[in-house]
Structure formats: structure tokens, C-alpha cells
Amino acid sequence: MDKIILDGMGGDNAPAAIVEGAVRALKDDKRLYLIIAGREAEIKAELAKYKYDASRVEILDCPDVIGMNDVPTEAIKNRQASLTAAYWHLKKNEDVCGLVSAGSTGAIIAGGQLILGRIRGIKRAALCPAIPNVNGATLLCDCGANAECKPSMLCQFALLASAYAQAGFNKANPSVGLLNNGTEEHKGDPLRQETYKYLSQMQGINFVGNVEGRDINYGNVDVVIADGFSGNVALKSIEGCAKMILATMKKQFKSSPASLIGSLFMLGAIKRMKKGLDFDKYGGALLLGLKKVVIKSHGTSKPVTITNAIKNALSIYRNGLIPKVEEMLEKVDLDNLIPVEE
């Protein structure tokens, strides 16, 4: 059995959405065993609504919940909180391979680095969501964990995201681009210019140069590297654009009887387009650089999102992401490539 632990109280729709998503995942994967951390009475009440294999579900009773407005570095110290308890369980039990939470982003990042720990040699963990593009998905790393970065961190993000593209998306030699305000080598601020120079010299990654924001959705590269501030702005802009497109189409289809009738002939194509723009199919952002698989789902996650997050965590674990990162780190000597940074 492959064990995944869930933060049963994390997110706006917890524990209902977490439990329903968990039950769906259990039905789809007979090798899956789930541990749900949270208020036992509430979780049992939700589980009672469904038929499932009870021998593959365990509840870790935790009375407290980390709220979205709590200070992450302080809140994560509360061992009675569901997320904190989940992290400690993940750390102490070798047979638990990953964690999924829709809770506080800050607390998930803090817990990952302070409790679980980073892979040896990794300076900072980074959030890496899969962004829908015309051909499948583009990985964006980082998108919010590190607002300020140094060149060595961005180089490590390139390595981490390349390993994820291989383990999670079967990309044999994923192309890597650096998010910038132009594609020319000399473009960008000192951080981007220095990082470009080092990425060009790195072994083990397929760096193709600078890319612009539009390249993320065009799918011109498999991986886009950014500092957490720029990456988060890009991510939220893309999310807003996708929602705007769908809302505008819906409004126009309802604008007249002729438009409404015409939309019926396009219904199949519209559904396919909506499915292609759906972030829920990836379950959330992978927190790269940690010793085990951790996925941060959106705070408003629906059951299907949680199901997909669990499936994604299992797939990444089974495809050997962590060993792949460790192997790549051994081959890349960043200490000699990049001068000592202040």
C-alpha cells in the first residue's frame, strides 16, 4: 500500500470536500491507503455518507485548525493543529509517501521547511503548479514561496522543476525558460541577467533562454523559472484571464436567441475548451525541494481537486521524483558554478 496523509481541515470546504475527494481516490486506486488528520468526529460524520473500504482509511485526531489569517511560522508550531500533526506523521513514518493540504499556503511552506525538511543541498522549497497550455501543461516554478531570490535559487528551481517534468509528465528532456521582459539575452534586471548566465552553463537541464509571460500558455517550453513574486503575478493573471474568457463567452451566448442556438452546436467544443483550461485536473501546486511529496491545493478546492491532488502525489512518488532530484544534484556542482552570494 502507498500511504498519503491529508490535512482534513484545510481549506474553505473542509472537511466535506476533503473526505469526498479522498473516498473517490480510494475507489480509483486499490493500492492507496489514506490517513486523514483532523477533528475525528467531523471526519467520521462525513465518511458515514459514503461506501468505502474502511480498512484503507485511518483518522489522526487533531482538535485545532490553522486559519488563513494565522501567522504561519507561529501556527505551524501547534502540534494539535491538523496540518502540523500531518507533517510530523509524514516525517516520522517512512511508509507515508506524501501529504495533500488545501490549507494556508504560508503554513504549508513553513511546515515543509521547518518540520519535514529540504532535500540535502536545496536552499529553498518552491511552489510549482502545472499551468494549462495548448499542448498540455507548463510548469511554473516558483509562484509564491520565495518573493526574493538569488541566482543560485533560480538555478535550483530549474533543476527541481526539470525533475518534476520528468517524473510527473514523462518529459525525457524538458525545455526550461527563464521568465523575463524579453527574450534577448541582455534583457531583465541583474537577477535575471546573472541567472541567465549560470543557467546557460548548467549541466543536466535543457535551458533554451528567456521567455515571456505569453509563452507559459502557448506551451513553447515545458518549464518556466521565476522568482516567487513574478511567478505569482503571472499565475494570478493567467487564472483571471481564463475566468474572463469563459465568463465573456457565456455572456455573449446569452445575448440573443440566435447566439444561444448557435452555442448549442458548439457545446462539445466549449466543454473541451473548459476542460483544457481547468486547473483542478492537476490538484494543486507541488512544493518542490522537500524530502517527501507535498501538494498545496487551492483553498476553495472541490472534491475532484482533492482526488486529483492525491492521484498526482501518488504518481510523482511512484515515478521517483525525490531520488531523481538527488541524482541531478550530484551531477550539478552549483557551488563551483556560482560565486558566493551575499
pLDDT confidence of residue 225: 97
Angle 93-129-334 from CA coordinates, rounded to 5°: 75
- What pTM did the predictor assign? 0.90
pLDDT confidence of residue 278: 67
Cα separation of 73 and 148, whole Å? Answer: 18
pLDDT confidence of residue 276: 64
Domains in the chain: boundaries: 1-122+289-319, 124-279
* Fold entry, domain 1-122+289-319: Isopropylmalate Dehydrogenase (3.40.718)
Cα separation of 282 and 277, whole Å? Answer: 11
Residue tagged 462525513 (cell numbers): 46
pLDDT confidence of residue 341: 61
Residue 53 is classified by DSSP as -
Decide if 1-122+289-319 and 124-279 have a common fold: yes
pLDDT confidence of residue 186: 87
Cα separation of 296 and 107, whole Å? Answer: 10
pLDDT confidence of residue 261: 81
Mean pLDDT by 10 residues, the chain (342 residues): 96 95 96 97 96 96 92 91 97 96 95 95 94 91 94 95 92 95 91 94 92 93 96 91 83 82 75 68 92 94 95 94 88 69 55
The dihedrals phi and psi of 187, each to the nearest 5 degrees, come to: -70, 160
pLDDT confidence of residue 10: 94
Residues 279 and 239: beta-carbon distance below 8 Å: yes
CATH of region 124-279:
3.40.718.10
